[in-house]
Amino acid sequence: MCGIAGIIHKKENTASAENVERMLNTLTKRGPDDSGVHTSSQCTLGQTRLSIIDLNTGHQPIVDGDLSITFNGEIYNFKELRSEFESKGHIFKTNSDTEVILKAYREYGQECPKHLDGMFSFAIWDDAKKELFVARDRFGKKPLFYTEKDSYFVFASEIKALFKSGILEKDCINKEALDDYFHFGYILPDKTIYQNIYPLLPAHTGTLIDGVFSTTRYWALEKKELDISYEDAKKKVRELLENAVQKRMLASDVEVGALLSGGVDSTYVSYLAQKHLNHPLKTFSVGYDWHKNELPFAEQASKIIGTDHYPLSVSADLKEELKTVIKYLDEPHGDTSNFPQHLISKLTSEHVKVVLTGDGADELFMGYGWYQITKYMPRWRLDWKILNSFQAYQKAISIFKKRMRKKIIKDYTPSNSVYKKIFKNLQDPSHKINIFDLSVYLPSQLLTKIDRTSMMHGLEARAPFLDTDLAEFVYNLPTSFKMEGTKNKIILKDLLAEIFPKEFVYRKKQGFGAPIDQWLGEEKMREFVHTTLESENLMYSFIDKTSVLKIRDGFYAKKRNHSYKLWLLLSLALWFEYHEDTIL
């Protein structure tokens, strides 16, 4: 796992190594073990490295003739690909998965990502053709951002590096992204908080040819519902998940641990991981003592599996830890579990470099309660506008309603165009929710959170549930195998119930949300909130201060339950405070 960066001059080589080295200085947390820079005509590539595979000869960027590459991620099938390419006459200088990508590019050109099984963002420069090729993994586990200014094309793993390139010093705030933030609590995957900085979308490649950058989608989940019995489906899910875990265990020259929340997903992953070890798997969990505390369940799971368990109860200074994580985040991100995730990542990184997670299971197996929201929402919450579960879902996930967003964002009129872009001709409400979860919520909320909070501590997080073969199979299982009535994640829970006690498996889902009502009500936090929101913050160049203070006062007067709204406003104000120097 690494941090990557590069500068391409579209006409001549004026991008010096010093520019990219400054970019790399902002990415050392992503790659604390090594760094390197390679310059060729018109292009300078750089990389900071977290050494996981080929610890001795895997220095990057790697150069092979006219091709050079900088790569962030892990390729789980690199050994199989290497054998294939060696049989075709390719000669390897290293034992790394990075060099395998270069050979794949020689063999398959721009189709090479289709042959890669893993998580990745990478850039390949062809010095003979004077062309750049970039790619990002299917679900968007690894980030890649880019900008174009004058004759330059600049890219990096994190936005902060772009501002250190010497080419882009500041940028304008994107009000559409602010609208996303107030709507969902995070920014959608097709934009950033800045007007002229863009993400390469998940499952996309990009090419810079003759100074023109264009992108292409190379993969998407396709709905082809399977005709299969429930028992055969269970057997196949078990087999695919076991393979997914095994691949992620074997593709490492360092010890692998697991995040074990005590929920179904992480418990099953930890159980399967332990099967591949002759010593106890190191597992890690975090809890809040008195709020949705799953630490006892994590410890119970650890005992059954036989892991070496490290629990963490959140008792740190909330204010300081919140500051720490928001300073690191390049964009506003309102998840209340950001800083607990940062704390558990910090603890985990003190023991292992690689950790398995349960991310992706809820999205694939329809594990959220909002799939049944119309049936189980109180009748007084159901009005004539809610006609199906997707419309109810839209209502439930909207933090600031459209009318309020129009009022709070200065000189801006919100739209709901995001739904038109994503769903087009989809009709089935549950399918529409599932697509939103997989294509928006997963990459923008969950994967962004785990990538940033783990990599700020030099920890690599791997998600077996997002294995391509497993995801494509589960996506096309009959909905009744995953969700029916009040039940969800049916097939996954039934698999775990073959190993674990039924009362453990079928208990009510608690989630990872933090007790923000209580936190915001604490005296120290209350003072902090007032001081932060009363200040002459740059946020108020874009946000209506009167509306902000009204929400704050309503919460503390206990007139309205505005806790999540207030949390988003506090987080946004802190983000503006710590990122003033990047905003025009």
Q: pLDDT tens, 549-559?
A: 999 999 998 87
Predicted confidence (pLDDT) at residue 103 exceeds the cutoff of 90? yes
Question: For residues 136 and 421, what is the distance between their CA atoms, to the nearest angstrom?
Answer: 20
Dump pLDDT digits (tens) for 307-355.
Answer: 999 999 887 678 888 999 999 999 999 999 898 899 999 999 999 999 9
Question: For residues 189 and 176, what is the distance between their CA atoms, to the nearest angstrom?
Answer: 12
Predicted confidence (pLDDT) at residue 419 exceeds the cutoff of 80? no
Predicted confidence (pLDDT) at residue 414 exceeds the cutoff of 50? yes
pLDDT at 380: 47
Contacts within 8 Å (CB) and 24+ apart, 574-581: 574/322, 574/323, 574/326, 574/532, 575/326, 575/329, 575/331, 575/332, 576/537, 576/538, 576/539, 577/532, 577/535, 577/537, 577/538, 578/323, 578/326, 578/327, 579/330, 580/538, 581/170
DSSP string, 389-437: HHHHHHHHH-SS-HHHHHHHBTT-----HHHHHHHTT---HHHHHHHHI
DSSP string, 497-516: TTTS-HHHHTSPP--S---H
Q: Which domains does the chain have, with CATH numbers?
A: 2-171+196-217 (3.60.20.10), 230-369+403-505 (3.40.50.620), 516-582 (no CATH)
DSSP string, 66-120: TEEEEEEEEETTHHHHHHHHHHTT---SSS-HHHHHHHHHHHHGGGGGGG--EEE
pLDDT at 302: 96
pLDDT at 60: 82
DSSP collapsed to 3 states, 261-318: CCCHHHHHHHHHHHCCCCCCCEEEEEECCCCCCCHHHHHHHHHHHCCEEEEEECCCCH
Residue 129, burial from CB neighbour count under 10 angstroms (0-12, 13-18, 19+): exposed
- Reading the block at residue 352, the tokens are 């292992």
Question: For residues 549 and 534, what is the distance between their CA atoms, to the nearest angstrom?
Answer: 8
φ and ψ at 522, to 5 degrees? -65, 145
pTM for this entry: 0.94
- Phi-psi bin for 17: left (phi > 0), alpha (psi -120 to 50), beta? alpha
Q: Where residue 518 falls among pLDDT bands split at 50, 70, 90?
A: confident
Q: Which residue has the higher pLDDT, 485 or 261?
A: 261
Give the Cα-Cα-Cα angle 33, 36, 40 (nearest 5 degrees): 165
- Reading the block at residue 36, the tokens are 């390197």
Dump pLDDT digits (tens) for 216-244.
Answer: 999 999 988 899 999 999 999 999 999 99
pLDDT at 467: 97
DSSP string, 144-160: -EEEEETTEEEEESSHH
What residues are annotated to the active site?
A: 2
